Structure 1
């Protein structure tokens, strides 16, 4: 680091810094990737550029009341760092956990906060990425070069959530808020609030504010699936009573959860009606049949969209206590006092919260250029959802939908480090994936099959994403159980890897 510090003190030299690897983003993926790089490629120099003022990504930017994980922390946590808290954790608990990872592994010295990347340019003549980043403290553009680019920026735009353009929104006299940009000065105590949405954010937010509000109405266009349960893991608690080492507990509980999740996913496809009734039984434990039939029976089979965990059924308890109610209808338009629904019903509120999802972020909204030609990401074909035809020396961490994001970040961390070490051993400076001759005639389709998984944000952003091929090597399979065994065995000298 001495050389970097010298460069920082020199105004002329500070314009350009070089690193072997540049990691984009200091969220859950970026911090984990830095750990793997430091452990498995200790001779490589690296830097993490983060646009925000600190680490954490989603867990830093989302400030709405009650924000918590919708995946258990035994699998959402890193495989190398035991989780010792409750399975469903608050944003504060997750940030504390990430801070421990950064401190224990001396990663802070590699992170530059407040650096928003605006462009990334690849030169085959130099086998080098040139990255320009705006330093937000003084709006100065900094230039970095790197041999390899590790994209860990997540997959949605942090600065702005998705809100549909409903008729009459300008007429509404109250306040419209999106959870992704929750204002610090929002006073909802004693107020009537409408939350538009039916996903994990809505289910989290409602019980967190219901006791302080006059009343909260959850307005949903269609129902979603929920899993109510205790925010505890009986196996972990038992192993702790037996004084088993926390590292062992972490690994054992992770494996048990992943086994159960995989079985549940398979059953959701093979016997969807049985699984549907099991899920509805969880809701019936809190609500009368009339309410279940009216508001909690989804139109789709389980696991075509994410299923939100509801700790202790807190969402349903708010309804039972009369602090909240659910309306299933579509919005016709806004009025001065609230909403007019297509059924003719009108809802009044002081505050309307649009928990309506987010906007897909493709490669961090960075302007990419490959050998002088602007990159059209949608024209590429993905290799296992992490590399892309025509884009050299780059890997993108895109996690799982039906399992914890971090599981894939760990697996890809191993793959990238193995690839970097393989390139060094062979004396290669460049790698790009290409479809081998025998596969070039295969049909190309959208990034993911809508019949398999189809949340709104993904459907809206599908035209921006790369194509998938017919063979599973050219897809993001979403199959952790297959990938955990396949990715470590990838032949790095296979026909799909072209070195230079």
Structure 2
């Protein structure tokens, strides 16, 4: 009786913990945000709330065989922390790198794990966010207030991946798994495996499974652009051999990679067919003209989706060795023994892996309200992809599609402390963004132009996302090369910012 009463009291606890800033998420963006806030605005109190049992975000969620980055760590790593390994890193290497950042900067004391935020309510009356969260380890509901919310929870739902519903799935006698929730007890040795999907996850999984599986088949509806290369940066290796200071090496290599990426982006826009032929030409040398024509020649323009880098060409080596193969077709139905394809062919399988993408997560699936009115983010307009009209004291970190996520997280990491200090100087407790008089007739469109970038997870969730405007400041431009110069020069007294 007493135990039950005590537990009930804890669950109904109304004690409010107050912080100047609440950072949501302890992944690559959240840990970076904590570093930037502590370094650039050390007098500010803050707390990082993370739903998982530890830091890492994506790199804690994904535990499938071979999990690795699809961006180089010279740019996916933080600006302030040199990366000294191979450009493409394993998930465990990235977690170790983040652990060093947390330890070196004494950030652990600011992070609280297993804390799931359920609601966030803005009150204009007191100029605060009121946040309700549940401790997943104890079941206790906790209450917080904060002057500012820094949303670093990422862009997809960590608890579940996206798996389409196909007829007959219940008939299949083997196991169906999604890479995002990889079972620890899954034994694939000697098994026939079908991996559905053609993105970076599939290309990572297949070589990791192929050595011990009986055979691995990648089943794709349509091909993706791939580019193989050595998992080595020659410039970085040369600078290390010359014993150049690691900070200098990190900055020089980052700039080199970013400059080359900007040049490639320009070439893709100006001469997409030439870039396309270059990409396909490399694969033809590895796999032959016929195989590439059938399985590795995408129908979409080369700039519309991310180009998948394959370190050391391991995916293609598995195909050449006969341990893996590719089938391009659509699924008619699942059967007891595998998959019946629309062409009439069948794929027998013991294990089917649905590497079919993510479920878009908009602001952490948290119930937001502004002065007791539920927030519908799709009715807002984004300011540079990080703030939203009518939403006070909140910034969302949403990275780049074609460049490393962390590049934008670092830019926003500089912007937020500058904005907070500017608010202090003005004596303002709140800031929101609003369309200026000259913006009132501006055409509005989807958050991202589908002709520019159109991955499945984004297309499925586009109706949930904010609107974008025709003017550059009202869009998420995906253009790091320009934004790295623009962000430091954002005029905080521009009429787009409304202080209260």
TM-score by length of structure 1 reads 0.97
1:422 maps to what in 2?
Answer: 422
2:232 maps to what in 1?
Answer: 232
CA contact (8 A) 2:11 2:141 kept: no
Q: Matches of 1:41 and 1:356 in 2, distance apart?
A: 41
C-alpha distance after superposition, 1:202-261 (max 9, x if no partner): 000000010100000000000001110000000000111111111001000000000111
Using the TM superposition, name which of 78-87 and 302-311 deviates more.
302-311
CA contact (8 A) 2:216 2:324 kept: yes
Q: Matches of 2:177 and 2:13 in 1, distance apart?
A: 45
Q: Matches of 1:392 and 1:264 in 2, distance apart?
A: 38
CA contact (8 A) 2:12 2:141 kept: no
Q: Matches of 1:14 and 1:128 in 2, distance apart?
A: 16
Q: Matches of 1:89 and 1:20 in 2, distance apart?
A: 35
CA contact (8 A) 1:268 1:301 kept: no
Q: Secondary structure at the match of 1:148?
A: strand
CA contact (8 A) 1:286 1:313 kept: no
Q: Secondary structure at the match of 2:141?
A: strand
Structure 1 unpaired stretches of 5+: 1-9
Alignment of 1:125-204 (within 5 A): 125-204=125-204
- State the 1:14 CA deviation: 7.6
Q: Secondary structure at the match of 1:486?
A: helix
CA contact (8 A) 1:221 1:330 kept: yes
Alignment of 1:100-119 (within 5 A): 100-119=100-119
CA contact (8 A) 2:61 2:180 kept: yes
2:258 maps to what in 1?
Answer: 258
- State the 1:15 CA deviation: 2.4
- State the 1:488 CA deviation: 0.7
Structure 2 unpaired stretches of 5+: 1-9
1:205 maps to what in 2?
Answer: 205
1:271 maps to what in 2?
Answer: 271
1:3 maps to what in 2?
Answer: none
CA contact (8 A) 2:52 2:114 kept: yes
1:20 maps to what in 2?
Answer: 20
Q: Matches of 2:329 and 2:52 in 1, distance apart?
A: 38
Aligned length: 491
C-alpha distance after superposition, 1:439-488 (max 9, x if no partner): 01111110000000000001001000000011111000000011111111
1:358 maps to what in 2?
Answer: 358
Q: Secondary structure at the match of 2:286?
A: coil
Q: Matches of 1:255 and 1:70 in 2, distance apart?
A: 18
Q: Secondary structure at the match of 1:299?
A: coil
Q: Matches of 2:268 and 2:223 in 1, distance apart?
A: 17
1:444 aligns with 2:444: yes
Q: Matches of 1:318 and 1:301 in 2, distance apart?
A: 27
- State the 1:303 CA deviation: 2.4
- State the 1:284 CA deviation: 2.0
Q: Matches of 2:251 and 2:202 in 1, distance apart?
A: 32
Q: Matches of 1:265 and 1:301 in 2, distance apart?
A: 13
Q: Matches of 1:11 and 1:388 in 2, distance apart?
A: 33
- State the 1:13 CA deviation: 8.2
1:495 maps to what in 2?
Answer: 495
- State the 1:285 CA deviation: 2.9
CA contact (8 A) 1:64 1:179 kept: yes
Q: Matches of 2:57 and 2:435 in 1, distance apart?
A: 34
Q: Matches of 2:251 and 2:82 in 1, distance apart?
A: 8
